[in-house]
Amino acid sequence: MRNRMTGVVTCGDINGIGPEIAVKAIDRMLGAKDLNYVLVIPGNVFSEISQKTGIDLSKETRVKIHDIGDFKIEPGDPTGESGIAAFKALEAAFGLVEKNDRSFLVTAPISKYAFKLAGVNFPGHTELLAKWAGADEFVMMFLSEQFKCALATIHVPLHEVSGLVTKDLLRTCLKTVTNSLKIDFSLHQPRIALLGLNPHAGENGVIGDEEINVIKPAIDEFKGTVEGPFPPDAFFARKQHLTFDIFVALYHDQGLIPFKLLTAGSGVNYTAGLNIIRTSPDHGTAYDIAWQNRADFTSMIEAIDWGHRVCSNRRLIYGR
């Protein structure tokens, strides 16, 4: 395997669609990108999914299969064993990417419940990878050809959001997003939209005061780059998301409902602020169609493509 960039791809939850979309996406992208690949997956899962899909990546010279051992497959069910397998695959993949600055990580979907059953006390990929990378300032972003989204808070109950949205949090989020847009996406003068928290963005304090006391002061620190706060409903109704490089939502569903609705399954999850590059499809494990050889792998293809783009941009910046 000559000195190409390398996409390190995990299997995700072995009882979901992760193994299928990983194998199919790598197979499709072999003809589209001059990349090497490492697929991190249990040996027995690779054998079974190769038979199911009719795709044997072990015969490809640009693909290495990184076997993490055998794990019991129970299609359609999150189990402690599938959680352990997903964790071990991610751990091994992170180690490979951390040692190779010409590589990027693409993670297939995991189950937070399976992680819990396995005793993994992290709510998702983002928080776990940030811990391993030693990153205190990181942001969950979502990418598409049309527009991008970032989340100020991630996997937290809705009733906690107002207390978490502080000037310090927004300052860190906006700084991380700005730096990522410049370095990872070559947007040297980015335009960022920040959504409001309350209906009508508070309507001058009539419906909540977070916009006045927290959000506007944070925006003022990024004059010329960040605008807002925008009432979310009007922002998307007027298609203002298409006039900015990215919009920042204050909580999970505020950003992801419009993003997933408008990107139609082609969006990509990206973790900004890490010393490694990590992308993922923007959907879950789809247990209801697991191991049926009919999963849509469009988002996985896009995740590989975006990982390659970011890796290329960072190489230009850092001269790697």
DSSP character at residue 185: S
pLDDT digits (tens, 9 = 90+) for 277-318: 999 999 999 999 999 999 999 999 999 999 999 999 998 877
At 188 the pLDDT is 93
Say yes or no to pLDDT of 101 above 90: no
Cα–Cα dist 119/89, whole Å: 15
Q: Produce one character per residue of 253-262: b if its CB has 16 or more CB atoms within 10 Å, e if not.
A: ebbbebbbeb
137-272 matches 1-135+274-320 in CATH topology: yes
pTM of the model: 0.93
Read off the pLDDT of each residue in 237-246 and give the average, rounded to a whole number.
96
* Domain locations in the chain as residue ranges: 1-135+274-320, 137-272
pLDDT at 92 over 70: yes
Query: Over 60: is that where the pLDDT of 1 sits?
Result: no
CA 153, CA 145: separation in Å to the nearest integer? Answer: 23
Residue 3 is predicted with a pLDDT of 72
Q: CATH number for the 137-272 domain, one of 3.30.70.100, 3.40.718.10, 3.40.50.720, 3.40.50.150?
A: 3.40.718.10
According to CATH, the superfamily of the domain at 1-135+274-320 is Isopropylmalate Dehydrogenase (3.40.718.10)
Q: What is the pLDDT of residue 166?
A: 97
Give 2's pLDDT tier (boundaries 50, 70, 90): low
Task: Give the pLDDT confidence score for residue 320 in this predicted structure.
Answer: 56
Tens-place pLDDT, residues 174-204? 999 999 999 999 999 999 999 999 999 988 9
Task: Quickly state the pLDDT bin for 32 (edges 50, 70, 90).
Answer: confident
**Alpha-carbon 40 to chain mean position:** 18
